[in-house]
Amino acid sequence: MPKDGHFNTRTGWLRAAILGANDGLVSTASLLVGMISAGAGHGGVLLAGLAGLTAGAFSMAAGEYVSVSAQADSEAADLARERQALRDDPDYELEELAEGLQSRGVSPGLARQVAHEMTEHDALDAHAREELGFTETSASDPLQAAWTSAVSFAIGGGLPVLAVLGAPDGAGIASVAAMSLAALMLLGAVGAWLGGAPIRAAVLRVLFWGTFAMAVTAGVGRVLGVAIV
């Protein structure tokens, strides 16, 4: 547990790591199960798994970087507007800050005093926190999100591929499903523990959606019956 008893400092990298690992597990396992159900040979299944693993890791990195960069750009634009507002009309901004404190239960006189002291200390930081809801822990970091997602996707996606490599003849689907569902349960438990959330609900959630995804993909592969050499 963190020294201060709170887990919100982990939310940035934890969200990206859990998303990447979960996506790697579910998408790669579902792809492999679908290929096996369609009648693909062992070599074709492995090739599809490795291709999906590689493409997925880079896709996750690019997607996270672009989306988090867009969020960071939006936050920077909000801060720029707030900085300009503080220069143009500081009295109005002071009153706005005091009203915000009052709305949270602070008495009018004390709210104005606190708003004045916060403005004297760091006006932009005060408005970023109280008006925009920005803090250090919520700040966007595109590079952190990108590499965390890519690495976690590769680790998660690598497990079903290993299951195929070690699967006996005719047991590919069972091996991939067993490996993937066990890993998903572990992932749900670890993610909940790191975030200080209930473990049982997290495990059941990832287990349900992982099973559902593999079952649907297996059904699609069996219906289409496409054999890939």
Q: How many CB atoms lie within 10 A of CB 157?
A: 30
3-state SS, residue 99:
helix
Q: Between residues 224 and 218, which one has the greater pLDDT? A: 218
Indicate whether 137 belongs to any domain.
Answer: no
Q: Please write the tens of the pLDDT for every residue from 60-113.
A: 899 889 988 888 888 788 888 888 888 888 888 888 888 888 877 888 888 888
How far is CA 218 from each of CA 39, 106, 173, 194, rounded to the nearest angstrom?
Answer: 11, 59, 9, 33
Asked if residue 194 and residue 84 are part of one domain, the reply reads no
Q: Exposed, middle or buried, 44 (CB in 10 Å: 0-12/13-18/19+)?
A: middle
Based on the structure, what is the number of domains in the chain? Answer: 2
Indicate whether 120 belongs to any domain.
Answer: yes
Q: Please write the tens of the pLDDT for every residue from 133-179.
A: 676 545 567 888 888 889 999 999 999 999 998 888 878 899 999 99
DSSP structural state of residue 179: H
Q: Please write the tens of the pLDDT for every residue from 20-56.
A: 888 999 999 999 999 998 888 888 899 999 999 999 9
Q: Which of 101, 135, 133 is nearest to 118 (CA)?
A: 101
Indicate whether 211 belongs to any domain.
Answer: yes
Asked if residue 188 and residue 82 are part of one domain, the reply reads no
Asked if residue 99 and residue 56 are part of one domain, the reply reads no
Q: Exposed, middle or buried, 102 (CB in 10 Å: 0-12/13-18/19+)?
A: middle
Asked if residue 92 and residue 29 are part of one domain, the reply reads no
Structure tokens belonging to residue 145: 């999100």
Indicate whether 3 belongs to any domain.
Answer: no
Asked if residue 150 and residue 125 are part of one domain, the reply reads no
Indicate whether 229 belongs to any domain.
Answer: no
Domain boundary, last residue among 90, 106, 130: 130
Amino acid letter, residue 94: L
Asked if residue 149 and residue 203 are part of one domain, the reply reads yes
Indicate whether 147 belongs to any domain.
Answer: yes
Asked if residue 147 and residue 55 are part of one domain, the reply reads yes
pTM of structure: 0.70
> Residue 160 is part of which domain span?
8-68+142-223
Indicate whether 87 belongs to any domain.
Answer: yes
Indicate whether 121 belongs to any domain.
Answer: yes
